[in-house]
Amino acid sequence: MAKRVGSHAVVVGSGMAGLLSARVLADWFDHVTVIERDHLPENPEHRHGVPQARHAHFLLAGGRRVLDELYHGLSARLLEEGAVPVRWTADLLGCAEFGWMARKELDGDVQVLASTRWLLDWVVRQRTFALPNVTVRARTEVTGLLARDDGLSVDGVRIRSRAQTATPISDGSESVIRADVVVDAGGRSSQGRKWLRELGLPVPAVSRLDTEQVHATRIYRRPPGAFDEWKALHVFPSPRTRAGACLTPIEGDRWMATLIGYGGGTEPPATPDAFLAFAKTLVTPLLHDTIMGLEPDGPVFGFRRSENIRYHYERLPRRLEGYLVIGDAVCALNPIYAQGMTVAAFSAKVLAKTLAAAEATADLSELTQNFQKSLAKCHDPIWRRAVRQDMAFLAAEQQRPTPMQRMANQYMNRVGRAAFREGGRTQQAYIEVIHMMRRSTSLLAPHIVWQALRSGGTGRLHGP
């Protein structure tokens, strides 16, 4: 017999968190409706509602593992559509202020299937919307939540359809959709706090830390033979250089070059000449030298929204039961760590576990609290690490790391250096942590501590 928690679930948003939530909810509800304010293109194309997709997106190996569990054969499908396998660290050049990363064939499946974000979304979207009990309502905006008479449990959503224009605008017609559960995956622009306030309910406290990172990206045609020596290049920013970049292969024999800087001095510019000039100032000129002379495939796009921001739904004294918040709508991280989609994948697993527990006890009354608390536990170590590392980029008059945080950063920097230099077991463990395949506490193993202690000096910046 099919497992059943409820009759109808609504998901707000069809970004990565929304799609993965729908996939999980489909196992537990008779019907799932995904509501998306955008027009959803039939082909893999950029769309308005996910503006960050213009910039390099890696699905880390830990996240891909979860996606392959949820959608069997997803990796194979991505490869068929032109995604490029990039093995860490054999196919990747990594350059930090202190040197180049040793390139080794690592054990296990530590690789990224590099593509545009819109190709990945499209493949996941096709698989999700092919499920028999999932339907999508595109060009439809959720404008608020409906509560039952008790005022404390969700009854559905208010929606407004949007006119059929390239940049959808409201055509004014409003209606409602009833549901037992509403999952808000509206991303950084989620209106969750406003909707709770409208119902007279308390809103979650916010934690934030903003390094004012700025991204600029341009796509180039990739010439034949480009992969002879390497496939992807990462230039890691440091608090001193305040500039980084990546050159990542994407489908259609192209490369996506993303430059990263920080507000107040090192923002990468969005004009073509200045884009190249900025690339030349990086700690290595290799990215500049590689793209210079290549044929661009589109303009330069900029992006400025990169703060770490977290809404503490898990701490609410009074909740709207049945309203769950997931993805960037509850915890959005600095994109430099490339973790957002993998965190969305882990969150979908948390949702599946919470629903399984609810089914076992046939009790939905604590679903929201159980989910947001478990999700917060999943986010805690990831959030702590991101903000701790980001604090090193803040000015002295801004928030400073505590002595414990400084010590943890110093230790991680040393492990990073050891991983860069030595390759071997330390690199394997470090890269697996970066790819969210194992916990960062595993870097406290004695052989790694030993390597970290030995790696104090600064390496020389030889060629890759």
Ligand X SMILES: Cc1cc2nc3c(=O)[nH]c(=O)nc-3n(C[C@H](O)[C@H](O)[C@H](O)COP(=O)(O)OP(=O)(O)OC[C@H]3O[C@@H](n4cnc5c(N)ncnc54)[C@H](O)[C@@H]3O)c2cc1C
Asked if 35 interacts with ligand X (CB under 6 A), we say: yes
Q: Residues 27, 36, 91, 267: which binds ligand X (CB under 6 A)?
A: 36
Query: Shortest approach of ligand X to residue 400 CB, angstroms?
Result: 25
Of 250 and 341, nearer to ligand X (C-beta) is 341
Whether 459 and 138 have beta carbons less than 8 Å apart is answered as no
Asked if 142 interacts with ligand X (CB under 6 A), we say: yes
Asked if 16 interacts with ligand X (CB under 6 A), we say: yes
Residue with tokens 């510019």: 269
Q: Residues 44, 268, 327, 416: which binds ligand X (CB under 6 A)?
A: 327
CA angle (437, 440, 444) in 5-degree steps: 125
Of 189 and 442, nearer to ligand X (C-beta) is 189
Of 58 and 383, nearer to ligand X (C-beta) is 58
For residue 224, how many other CB atoms are within 10 A of its CB?
A: 7
For residue 63, how many other CB atoms are within 10 A of its CB?
A: 25
Residue 358: both structure tokens together: 């609810």
Of 86 and 418, nearer to ligand X (C-beta) is 86
- Distance from first CA to last CA of the chain, Å, rounded? 57
Q: With CA atoms as reference, report the closest residue to 372 among 327, 309, 324.
A: 324
- Using the rule CB under 6 A, give the single segment among 87-95, 104-112, 337-345, 434-442 that binds ligand X: 337-345
Site for ligand X in 363-382 (CB under 6 A): none
Whether 375 and 349 have beta carbons less than 8 Å apart is answered as no
For residue 320, how many other CB atoms are within 10 A of its CB?
A: 25
Asked if 338 interacts with ligand X (CB under 6 A), we say: yes
- Contacts with ligand X, 286-315, as mask; x by CB under 6 A: -----------------x-xx---------
Point out the residue whose Cβ comes nearest to ligand X. 340
Site for ligand X in 236-295 (CB under 6 A): none
Taking CA atoms, 273 is separated from 3, 56, 126, 295, 296, in Å, by 58, 20, 38, 13, 12
Q: Residues 138, 344, 387, 452: which binds ligand X (CB under 6 A)?
A: 344
Residue 192: both structure tokens together: 């969750």
- Using the rule CB under 6 A, give the single segment among 52-60, 313-321, 429-437, 451-459 that binds ligand X: 52-60
Residue 303: both structure tokens together: 């992006």
What is the 3-class SS of 144-209, one letter each residue?
A: EEEECCCCCEEEEEEEEEECCCCCCCEEEEEEEEECCEEEECCHHHCCHHHHHHHCCCCCCCEEEE
- Using the rule CB under 6 A, give the single segment among 33-41, 102-110, 249-257, 279-287 that binds ligand X: 33-41
Asked if 231 interacts with ligand X (CB under 6 A), we say: no
- Using the rule CB under 6 A, give the single segment among 125-133, 273-281, 323-331, 389-397 that binds ligand X: 323-331
The beta strands (E) that lie in 263-395 are given as: 301-303, 308-311, 323-325, 331-332
Residues binding ligand X: number (CB under 6 A): 40
Asked if 23 interacts with ligand X (CB under 6 A), we say: no
For 362, counting Cβ atoms within 10 Å of its Cβ (0-12 exposed, 13-18 middle, 19+ buried), the class is exposed
Asked if 346 interacts with ligand X (CB under 6 A), we say: no
Of 421 and 435, nearer to ligand X (C-beta) is 435
Of 342 and 455, nearer to ligand X (C-beta) is 342
Binding site for ligand X (CB under 6 A): 12-18, 35-38, 49-50, 52, 55-59, 141-142, 185-187, 189, 191, 215, 303, 305-306, 327-329, 335, 338-342, 344
